[in-house]
Amino acid sequence: MIKQTLVFALGAALCAAPLAAQGAEHKMDHKKDGKMEHGADHAVSGWKELDAYHMLMMATWHPAKDKNDMAPIRAQATAMVASAKLVAASKAPMACQKPEFVKMQAALPAETAKVAAMVTATASDADLKAGLSKLHDQFDVLEGCAGMKS
C-alpha cells in the first residue's frame, strides 16, 4: 500500500511538471457536484491511477494535437508506460468492470509501450502523432467508463 502511494505520488509529480511548464493550460476548479475539472472539459474520475494517466495524456496529447509539439510525448513516454502499468494493476470502478473496459485496462501498458517505442526509435513527428492519436482513442474507452472526457 505504501509503495503504491509513493508510486502514485511520483506519477502525479511527473504529471504536474509538464503542465506547469506549459503554463498550466488545464486549471483545476471545484464544481458544485464535487467533481474536479480541468478547464471546462477535463473531469477527474476518482479512479486515482486512471486520473494520473489522464494527466500525462493531457500533457502530451494536447500539445501534439493542437500545436504539433511532440516534445512533451518524447519527454514523458517512459512515465506514461509506468502510469499505464499502475492503471492495469488497479481495481477499476464498477462501471468499468465490463469486458470491453477490462480488456482495454489490461492492454493499456502494451499500447502505451508502442508509443514509447516510437519515441525510442526517434520516429518522425507525423508518425509519433499518429501513434499517440491511436493511443488517445483507445484511452477514450476507459475514460468514457470512468465518466471523464479528454
Measured CA to CA, the distance from residue 90 to residue 88 in angstroms comes to: 6
Is residue 117 one of the residues assigned to a domain? yes
Is residue 132 one of the residues assigned to a domain? yes
pLDDT at 29 over 80: no
pTM, two decimal places:
0.71
pLDDT at 89 over 90: yes
Average of per-residue pLDDT values in the chain: 77
Is residue 14 one of the residues assigned to a domain? yes
Confidence (pLDDT) at 6: 39
Q: Determine what percent of the chain is predicted with pLDDT higher than 70.
A: 68
Is residue 125 one of the residues assigned to a domain? yes
Confidence (pLDDT) at 3: 46
Say which residues have a Cβ less than 8 Å from residue 128's Cβ, sequence separation at least 6.
Answer: 64, 70, 73, 74, 115, 118, 119
Instruction: Residue 10: give the domain boundaries.
Output: 2-145
Is residue 150 one of the residues assigned to a domain? no
Measured CA to CA, the distance from residue 32 to residue 39 in angstroms comes to: 14
The number of distinct structural domains making up the chain is 1
